[in-house]
Structure 1
Amino acid sequence: MDKSKSRYFIALLPPKDIRTQVNEIKQYFADHYGSRAAFKSPPHITLQPPFEWLTEEVPVLEECLSEFASERPSVPITLSGFAAFVPRVIYVNVIKTPALLTLQAGLMTHLETTLGITDPKSKQRPYAPHMTVAFRDLSRQNFKAAWPEFQDRELHFEFTAGNLTLLIHDGKQWNIHREFPFQPAF
């Protein structure tokens, strides 16, 4: 019997108004620098990079995420300015707070111990939370043109992430599959 797999990743998504504004920045990169790849997913902060999972085992994955999220408080997030992974990625900078770092490390550990989901690259480097606005199809030449325009540009948003989001790849782009609420605030 052929077992089908899909690709998933787990992220924090900002509220709709912030997603709209970040998508406008992505559109600017598409229009001015020919970089459209960031449109393949909604604006997000990756917690668990993409992994493959058996379609028939998705309820197990969902139960694991539901259990994890329900035991964690909502996470305050601050987006501040822009940063880059030279020479091809420009992103909205996410402030590394203890709450965010604890959440991400806890999720990675939980997924590994509960379901065996790991990301070898993530284990090799420190977590760098970010919200990508241009990458992959941003040429080195266009990066060099765009970065001076964005490196000192001001941007500031604060929000509270109220749930984990599981995204699924449909072969063309990433879509929201399901959200898992964090512990209710008292």
Structure 2
Amino acid sequence: MPKVMGKYFLAIVPDEPIKGAITSLKEGLQASFGIKYALKSPPHITLKMPFVHNENKEKELLQTLGRFFLKEKSFSLSLGGIGAFGNRVVFMKVKYPPELKHCQERLRDFTKTVLKKNIELSDANYHPHMTLAFRDFKKDQFEPVIEYLKMNNIRYQFMVSQVALLKKVDGYWVVLEYIKLSS
């Protein structure tokens, strides 16, 4: 079988109704400002930056990740407030509990040693967030977008009991499979 490389990443994807509410917020940004690039993926908090992997070995990748995440415990996560990286990326802030920090650190080490994947700068300097607008975001839209999002006063809290392996398919990131954490 020929080797076909796919692009993947690992993230926390909230369940409904939070997922739908955040998607609606991104759709509102598209309708009001023409910003749509963030709609190419479900609402998520990245745990491991995109990496390439042999598509023929997806099943083994999922099994390996499943064994890793069985050792990770579920935890509570809070989202609230709006932040930005410069004036080109706008995101929902994530309260950074120690459980998330430790999980991401162990995952970073695991993906380097077991999966033999490169550690990206943003893997090493982890800043959890949920992107709402980026890339097709124009500088003169920055303040109006921030005001629009602040008016929505977004706050959520949920239990993280699974993570998602996402795969790039036809230019969009789709959840390939959810992987359970231990209870």
Shorter chain as normaliser: what TM range?
over 0.9
Residues 27 and 152 of structure 1: is their aligned pair in 2 closer, same or farther, counting only changes over 3 Å?
closer
Post-superposition Cα deviations, 1:65-118, rounded to whole Å, max 9, x if no partner, equal 101111111121100111111211111111111111111111111111101112
Q: Give unmatched runs, 5+ long, in structure 1.
A: none
Contact 1:81 1:152 in 2 (8 A): no
Q: Distance in 1 between matches of 2:119 and 2:170?
A: 21
Shift of the alpha carbon at 1:172? 1.7
Distance in 2 between the 1:157 and 1:179 partners? 21
The residue that corresponds to 1:163 in the other structure is 162
Given the two structures, how large is their TM-score scaled by the length of structure 2? 0.94
Corresponding residue for residue 79 of structure 2: 79
Unpaired runs of at least 5, structure 2: none
> Is the Cα contact below 8 Å between 2:49 and 2:123 reproduced in 1?
no
Scaled by the length of structure 1, what TM-score is found?
A: 0.92
Whether the 8 Å contact between 1:94 and 1:131 is mirrored in structure 2 is yes
Q: Residue type matched to 2:8 in 1?
A: Y
Large movers: runs of 4+ above 3 Å: 148-153
Give percent identity, aligned residues only.
28
Alpha-carbon shift at residue 150 of structure 1 (Å): 3.2
Looking at structure 1, the residues matched to 85 and 8 of structure 2 have their Cα atoms a distance apart, in angstroms, of 23
8 Å contact kept, 2:49–2:120: no
Q: What per-residue deviation string (whole Å, max 9, x for no partner) do you get for residues 115-145 of structure 1? A: 1112332255x21111111111111111233
Deviations 1:19-46 (A, max 9, x none): 1110111011101111101110000100
Residue pairs, 1:14-163, within 5 angstroms: 14-122=14-122, 126-151=125-150, 154-163=153-162
Count residues with an aligned counterpart. Answer: 183
CA distance in 1, matches of 2:17, 2:52: 31
